């Protein structure tokens, strides 16, 4: 009798804690301050899977099938926390904020107060600042799973005054992979107790041939944007919104990234590092199709859908040959970022869509990276018939 009771309770405990569909949780190391960092694996039955860690609510791996069903990790990153804490980490896969991208001279005025932020990208503030920026915090994780999806919800509190920003900010970032599609959705939400700027993105570096491949210059890109925000030499928007027509920034048709990069490389941006103004989303649609990226070799195709009004296309110009996962070298332009967001320095540009979150309101934003195999146009037309 006793034995049965023991066995039975054991089974109950086992099944409630580790059901087959639960995201796998592993230790990923400790921060330099000794805080343990956990990593979770989420995926679907096709082998499409991601690993996400609690430091910076960071997307660490993304395994995507190619035309032959072969999986490759398409994200730059490191094998452990100390890699992410090293100076080789240029925001790989992290949640960037409180305000991603640049704020001119690290200053803004809100409700009559002037706020001063760290200047960590001379002469500007970049990606939320230094040690208390969201990418450096260890977030709380709540994994979840059902027959429809697997995911992890990360949450953290950024106290009033951290990195110079006003208000206590409660933030959450939820990664979800549906059971029936090769896609990963990132949903952001935030609340504050004082008016404060919020602009969140993920800084994933993609190489659709697999991380460690030489360059992304042969990747083909289409951006659903007729306009962009021109900048000064420090990459701060002038406030104008201009057409891409007739410029090297025109990606309205699928274009090889390397085709015009040398001429754009001679500008202050030293490559693509531009905010595109996305064309308005179709009426009733939740998200806009922002970008389509194709690797002609593997035929992996990624579509970026978002609720955000802008996307920063950054062609990995500052990658410098640092050693990443498995000791692979991450050379100049061996990956690119497609960072969905509000326009840079919006807090100093009342003419741009506002990034100010007020007490009582909820910040919500969603981006989905969807993967499939690129098909020749003729095959697509054939299918439609």
Q: Which is nearer to ligand GLA, 91 or 188 (CB)?
A: 91
Residue with Cβ nearer ligand GLA (308 or 374):
308
How far is residue 101's CA from residue 339's CA, in Å, rounded to a whole number?
9
- 298-317 residues near ligand GLA, rule: CB under 6 A: 312, 314
User: Tokens for 201?
Assistant: 């993105």
CB of 310 to ligand GLA, least distance (A): 12
Nearer to ligand GLA, 102 or 301 (CB): 102
Q: Between β-strands 95-96 and 102-103, what pairing exists: parallel, antiparallel or unpaired?
A: unpaired
Q: Which of 94, 99, 337, 338 binds ligand GLA (CB under 6 A)?
A: 337
Q: Which of 41, 54, 58, 90: binder of ligand GLA (CB under 6 A)?
A: 90
CB of 265 to ligand GLA, least distance (A): 13
Q: How far is the CB of 101 from ligand GLA (least distance, A)?
A: 6
Residue 178: CB atoms within 10 Å: 17
Residues in contact with ligand GLA, counted by CB under 6 A, come to a total of 10
Counting every residue, how long is the chain? 385
Q: Which of residues 118-177 bind ligand GLA (CB under 6 A)?
A: 126
Omega cis (within 30) before 60: no
- Report the SS3 class of residue 150: strand
- Minimum separation from the CB atom of position 107 to ligand GLA (A): 19
Would you say 8 or 318 has its CB closer to ligand GLA?
A: 318
Give me the sign of the Cα torsion angle 115, 121, 124, 128: negative
Binding residue for ligand GLA, selected from 318, 320, 326, 359, defined by CB under 6 A: 318
**Residue with smaller CB distance to ligand GLA, 66 or 273:** 273
Residue 175 CB, shortest distance to ligand GLA, in Å, is 20
Pick the catalytic residue from 203, 219, 342, 349: 203
Q: Which of residues 24-83 bind ligand GLA (CB under 6 A)?
A: none
Q: Contacts for 248-255 with beta carbons within 8 Å, 24 or more apart?
A: 249/274, 249/276, 251/221, 251/222, 251/223, 251/225, 251/276, 251/313, 252/222, 252/223, 252/224, 252/225, 252/226, 253/222, 254/220, 254/221, 254/222, 254/292, 254/294, 255/220, 255/221, 255/222
Closest approach, Cβ 32 to ligand GLA, in A, equals 21
Q: Which residue's CB is nearer to ligand GLA, number 40 or number 272? A: 272
- Residue 127 known to be catalytic: no
* E-state strands within 21-94: 24-30, 36-43, 49-53, 58-65, 71-73
Q: Has 339 been annotated as catalytic?
A: yes
Question: What's the rounded Cα separation, in Å, for the pair 182 and 374?
Answer: 14
CA distance 235 to 344: 9
| DSSP H or E run through 224 | none
**Binds ligand GLA by CB under 6 A, chosen from 28, 84, 91, 188:** 91
Q: Toward ligand GLA, which CB reaches closer, 101 or 158?
A: 101
Which residue has the closest beta carbon to ligand GLA? 314
Q: 163, 339, 342, 349: which one is catalytic?
A: 339
All residues at 6 or more sequence positions from 230 whose CB lies less than 8 Å from its CB, including other chains:
237, 238, 240, 242
Least Cβ distance, residue 332 to ligand GLA (angstroms): 12
From CA 134, how far away is CA 117, in angstroms rounded? 14
Figure out which of the listed residues 73, 211, 273, 308 binds ligand GLA, where binding follows CB under 6 A: 273
Write out the residues near ligand GLA by the rule CB under 6 A.
Answer: 90-91, 101, 126, 273, 312, 314, 318, 337, 339
Catalytic residue numbers, as ranges: 203, 339
């Amino acid at each position: 009798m006793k034995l049965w009771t023991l066995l039975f309770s054991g089974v109950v405990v086992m099944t409630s804690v580790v059901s087959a569909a639960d995201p796998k949780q592993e230790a990923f190391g400790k921060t330099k301050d000794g805080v343990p960092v956990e990593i979770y694996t989420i995926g679907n039955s096709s082998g499409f899977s991601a690993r996400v860690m609690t430091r910076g609510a960071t997307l660490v791996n993304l395994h995507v099938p190619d035309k032959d069903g072969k999986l490759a990790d398409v994200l730059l990153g490191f094998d452990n926390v100390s890699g992410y804490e090293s100076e080789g980490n240029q925001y790989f896969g992290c949640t960037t904020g409180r305000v991603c991208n640049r704020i001119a001279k690290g200053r803004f005025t809100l409700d009559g107060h002037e706020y001063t932020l760290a200047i960590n990208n001379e002469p500007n503030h970049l990606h939320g600042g230094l040690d208390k920026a969201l990418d450096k915090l260890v977030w709380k994780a709540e994994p979840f799973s059902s027959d429809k999806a697997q995911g992890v919800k990360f949450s953290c509190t950024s106290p009033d005054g951290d990195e110079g920003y006003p208000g206590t900010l409660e933030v959450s970032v939820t990664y979800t992979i549906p059971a029936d599609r090769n896609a990963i959705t990132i949903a952001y939400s935030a609340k504050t107790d004082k008016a404060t700027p919020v602009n969140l993105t993920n800084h994933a570096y993609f190489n659709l041939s697999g991380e460690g491949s030489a360059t992304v210059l042969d990747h083909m890109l289409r951006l659903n944007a007729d306009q962009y925000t021109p900048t000064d030499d420090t990459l701060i928007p002038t406030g104008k919104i201009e057409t891409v027509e007739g410029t090297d920034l025109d990606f309205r048709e699928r274009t090889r990234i390397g085709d015009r990069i040398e001429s754009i490389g001679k500008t202050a941006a030293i490559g693509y590092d531009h905010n595109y103004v996305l064309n308005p989303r179709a009426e009733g649609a939740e998200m806009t199709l922002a970008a389509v990226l194709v690797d002609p070799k593997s035929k992996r195709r990624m579509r970026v859908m978002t609720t955000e009004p802008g996307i920063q296309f950054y062609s990995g110009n500052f990658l410098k040959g640092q050693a990443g996962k498995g000791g692979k070298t991450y050379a100049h332009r061996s990956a690119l970022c497609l960072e969905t967001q509000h326009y840079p320095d919006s807090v100093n540009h009342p003419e741009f869509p506002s990034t100010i979150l007020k007490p009582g309101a909820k910040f919500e934003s969603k981006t989905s990276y969807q993967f499939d195999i690129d098909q020749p146009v003729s095959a697509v037309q054939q299918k439609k018939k």
